[in-house]
């Protein structure tokens, strides 16, 4: 598929079903692009579709089916939108939090490979978890559940607002580090740490007892 240059071809791209519950259209939403009138469209749609399909099918669907829903905060970013956001961040503008294009290839920029490998990142919120998070302020039960049940994820990074977090798929990598800006900040686990291996159900037993999970 060529880069869309008309409403009909962009509509066709948006209608592509990446997995059972996710379509390409919702992945293209961008506050930065909307505010500044910039198109957030992949240069290479086929690569974006391939990377996004892997992210949705292997990483997001297990979360959706277990918790009853996943909401997108930020998913695909075009190089032009990401670079503009990054430049605004460098100027100290509030509300802009994008790394460089190079750091987002095979991350939020789905249609550019990193060292020859595909990857994709989305910033998501799990609505069913919000009440628990607002009451306890603890992201870790959700993080440990994903660690145990979504082995194809290539890393998570949690944020304080709405317990939103980046979660990634990356070709050839799985079950990578869990990091957080939410207290306790830093690295919860990564390969090589004593707490990485094994199962961690003791950390999310409350979610099971409360009936939050649909598994």
Q: Taking 70 as the threshold, does the pLDDT of residue 215 lie above it? A: no
Does the residue 45 lie in any domain? Answer: yes
Does the residue 1 lie in any domain? Answer: no
Does the residue 96 lie in any domain? Answer: no
Q: How far apart are CA 158 and CA 181, in angstroms?
A: 6
What domain count does the chain have? 1
Does the residue 110 lie in any domain? Answer: yes
Does the residue 87 lie in any domain? Answer: no
Q: Taking 90 as the threshold, does the pLDDT of residue 46 lie above it? A: yes
Contact 163, 102 (CB under 8 A): no
pLDDT, one tens digit per residue, over 167-183 is 999 999 999 999 999 99
pLDDT over 90, % of the chain: 93
Does the residue 128 lie in any domain? Answer: yes
Two tokens, residue 5: 């240059």
pLDDT over 70, % of the chain: 100
Identify the domain containing residue 186 by its residue range. Answer: 7-80+106-209
Does the residue 101 lie in any domain? Answer: no
pLDDT, one tens digit per residue, over 100-144 is 999 999 999 999 999 999 999 999 999 999 999 999 999 999 999
Return all residues near 122 (Cβ < 8 A) that are at least 6 apart: 27, 55, 60, 72, 73, 74, 75, 166, 167, 168
Q: Is the pTM of this model over 0.85?
A: yes
Does the residue 91 lie in any domain? Answer: no
Q: How far apart are CA 5 and CA 190, in angstroms?
A: 43
Burial of 2 (0-12, 13-18, 19+ CB in 10 A): exposed
Q: How far apart are CA 132 and CA 115, in angstroms?
A: 39
How much is the pLDDT for 198?
94
- How many residues are present in the chain? 215
Q: Taking 90 as the threshold, does the pLDDT of residue 24 lie above it? A: yes
Per-position b or e across 190-201, b if 16+ CB within 10 A of its CB: eeeeeeeeeebe
- Residue 198, Ramachandran bin (φ over 0: left; ψ between -120 and 50: alpha; else beta): left
Q: How far apart are CA 45 and CA 154, in angstroms?
A: 22
How much is the pLDDT for 208?
87
């Amino acid at each position: 598929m060529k880069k869309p240059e008309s409403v009909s071809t962009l509509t066709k791209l948006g209608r592509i079903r990446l997995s059972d519950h996710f379509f390409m259209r919702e992945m293209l939403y961008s506050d930065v692009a909307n505010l500044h009138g910039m198109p957030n469209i992949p240069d290479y749609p086929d690569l974006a579709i391939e990377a996004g399909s892997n992210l949705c099918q292997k990483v997001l669907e297990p979360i959706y089916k277990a918790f009853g829903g996943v909401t997108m905060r930020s998913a695909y970013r075009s190089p032009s939108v990401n670079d503009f956001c990054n430049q605004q961040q460098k100027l100290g503008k509030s509300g802009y939090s994008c790394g460089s294009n190079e750091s987002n290839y095979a991350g939020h920029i789905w249609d550019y490979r990193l060292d020859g490998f595909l990857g994709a990142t989305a910033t998501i919120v799990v609505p069913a978890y919000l009440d628990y998070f607002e009451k306890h302020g603890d992201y870790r039960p959700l993080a440990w559940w994903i660690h145990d049940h979504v082995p194809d994820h290539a890393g998570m990074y949690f944020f304080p607002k709405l317990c939103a977090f980046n979660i990634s798929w990356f070709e050839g990598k799985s079950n990578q580090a869990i990091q957080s800006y939410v207290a306790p900040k830093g690295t919860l686990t990564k390969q090589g740490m004593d707490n990485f291996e094994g199962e961690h159900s003791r950390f999310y037993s409350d979610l099971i007892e409360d009936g939050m999970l649909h598994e």
